[in-house]
């Protein structure tokens, strides 16, 4: 068959070099290919980077490479918790992937916020031992036979009164000779561990108070001339009994007024710990149910206070006045470290009277016959 040339009126096949749309199509396809290739290269890097960020940072996508990661600075030991089974203090993050200095400043501020304003300069922890009979209650005329005190001061108190670290700076201890009934009962000796010979050779209560006043003056807490208080001191005890009952009774029996530096409200550590633990969010309602009955806090003794604060076992002998005082000081130090404000919570009436009281220094014997 003879060859017939195509007529010029026939359309040219599409996408051939002689098609006028070919240059534009080629450019479009090239640009699309380059864009798809670049996205395919960036996508794995962005996914990996998003997975390494915190949840709050994963929403931010940055095509620029992330800066090199800095090592976490060494944190002072003060910020590292030791044994805190129910601690409410903030914890440091395990790692700070970026902006380390900013993150550290944030957490440092959180720890500083755990410190609270503490209005008192010094704390005097007291746990006396007194004469007692088996079965006799707090209405009996007990006489003090041991006067132990721990003096605590702040280590980190700022100019604004912010503090959280207490320490024991000194101790005072003296046995006391009873005068109304100088013979100790067998029950009292077994309970306190104090022998009759120890109280026989001890000074009487007025002399012990003079010795203790010199101790306070040496630490700049009172004026040695008139007993005026020079610093804000807070008396602390396990329960209200030591000053509210024993000291008031003893001052009456010894026929002396309560010293100025011994007057005022006291900090009942037992009440403070019981109330603080009952309001913590640990273990939910079960923990609060164990510590509260009929809307009143259960009373926690010293060993229970130590355990609930994660401080271990009681150190020493229970009902030894000095050992009791030292363990109460441990509780007080831990409460301060956890950011608890230490202020008096129990009023004391130095003029309180009992039915067995006659004239000053007189115990009406017929109440006990």
Q: What is the pLDDT of residue 295?
A: 40
State how far the alpha carbon of 292 is from the alpha carbons of 277, 288, 296, in Å. Answer: 10, 6, 6
pTM of the model: 0.68
Q: What is the pLDDT of residue 291?
A: 52
Q: Is the pLDDT of residue 230 over 60?
A: yes
For residues 172 and 77, what is the distance between their CA atoms, to the nearest angstrom?
Answer: 31
Q: What is the pLDDT of residue 324?
A: 98
Q: Is the pLDDT of residue 345 over 90?
A: yes
Q: What is the pLDDT of residue 91?
A: 40
pLDDT band at 303 (very low <50, low <70, confident <90, very high): very high
The per-residue pLDDT for range 306-334, each reduced to its tens digit, is 999 999 999 999 999 999 999 999 999 99
User: What's the average model confidence in pLDDT over 108-131?
Assistant: 82
The per-residue pLDDT for range 231-279, each reduced to its tens digit, is 999 999 999 999 999 999 999 999 999 999 999 999 999 999 988 887 7
The per-residue pLDDT for range 165-175, each reduced to its tens digit, is 999 999 999 99
Number of H helices, E strands in the chain: 11, 10
| Max mean pLDDT range (28-37, 74-83, 289-298, 336-345) | 336-345
User: What's the average model confidence in pLDDT over 31-43?
Assistant: 69
Give the burial string for 289-309 (b: 16+ CB within 10 Å, else e). eebbeeeebeebebebbbebb
Residue with tokens 């036979």: 145
User: What's the average model confidence in pLDDT over 330-339?
Assistant: 96
Mean pLDDT of the chain: 79
Cβ contact 273:330 at 8 Å: no
The per-residue pLDDT for range 65-110, each reduced to its tens digit, is 544 544 434 433 333 233 333 333 334 344 434 443 444 344 434 4
For residues 324 and 245, what is the distance between their CA atoms, to the nearest angstrom?
Answer: 18
Q: Is the pLDDT of residue 7 over 80?
A: no
Q: Count the neighbouring beta carbons within 10 Å of the beta carbon of residue 150.
A: 24
Residues 248, 250, 252: CA angle, nearest 5 degrees: 75
Q: Is the pLDDT of residue 45 over 90?
A: no
pLDDT band at 42 (very low <50, low <70, confident <90, very high): low
Strand 292-293 relative to strand 122-126: parallel, antiparallel, unpaired? unpaired
Q: What is the pLDDT of residue 103?
A: 43
């Amino acid at each position: 068959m003879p060859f017939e040339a195509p007529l010029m009126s026939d359309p040219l096949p599409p996408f051939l070099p002689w098609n006028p749309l070919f240059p534009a199509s080629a450019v479009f396809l090239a640009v699309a290919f380059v864009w798809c290739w670049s996205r395919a290269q960036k996508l794995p890097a962005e996914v990996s980077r998003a997975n390494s960020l915190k949840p709050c940072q994963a929403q931010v996508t940055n095509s620029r490479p992330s800066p090199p990661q800095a090592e976490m600075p060494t944190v002072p030991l003060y910020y590292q918790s030791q044994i805190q089974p129910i601690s409410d203090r903030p914890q440091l993050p395990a790692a700070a992937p970026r902006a380390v200095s900013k993150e550290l400043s944030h957490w440092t501020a959180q720890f500083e916020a755990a410190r609270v304003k503490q209005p008192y300069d010094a704390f005097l922890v007291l746990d006396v031992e007194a004469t007692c009979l088996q079965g006799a209650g707090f209405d009996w005329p007990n006489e003090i036979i041991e006067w132990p005190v721990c003096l605590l001061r702040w280590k980190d108190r700022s100019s604004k009164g912010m503090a959280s670290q207490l320490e024991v700076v000194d101790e005072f201890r003296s046995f006391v000779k009873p005068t109304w009934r100088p013979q100790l009962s067998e029950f009292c000796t077994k309970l306190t561990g104090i022998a009759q010979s120890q109280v026989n050779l001890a000074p009487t209560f007025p002399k012990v108070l003079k010795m203790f006043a010199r101790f306070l003056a040496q630490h700049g807490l009172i004026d040695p001339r008139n007993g005026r208080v020079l610093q804000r001191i807070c008396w602390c005890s396990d329960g209200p009994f030591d000053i509210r009952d024993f000291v008031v009774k003893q001052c009456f029996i010894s026929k002396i007024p309560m010293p100025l530096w011994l007057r005022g409200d006291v900090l009942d550590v037992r009440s403070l710990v019981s109330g603080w633990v009952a309001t913590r969010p640990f273990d939910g309602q079960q923990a609060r149910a164990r510590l509260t009955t009929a809307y009143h806090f259960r009373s926690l003794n010293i060993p229970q206070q130590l355990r609930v604060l994660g401080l271990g076992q009681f150190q020493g002998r229970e009902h030894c006045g000095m050992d009791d005082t030292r363990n109460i000081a441990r509780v007080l130090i831990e409460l301060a470290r956890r950011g608890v404000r230490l202020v008096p919570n129990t009023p004391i009436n130095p003029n309180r009277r009992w039915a067995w009281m006659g004239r000053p220094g007189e115990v009406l014997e017929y109440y006990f016959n």
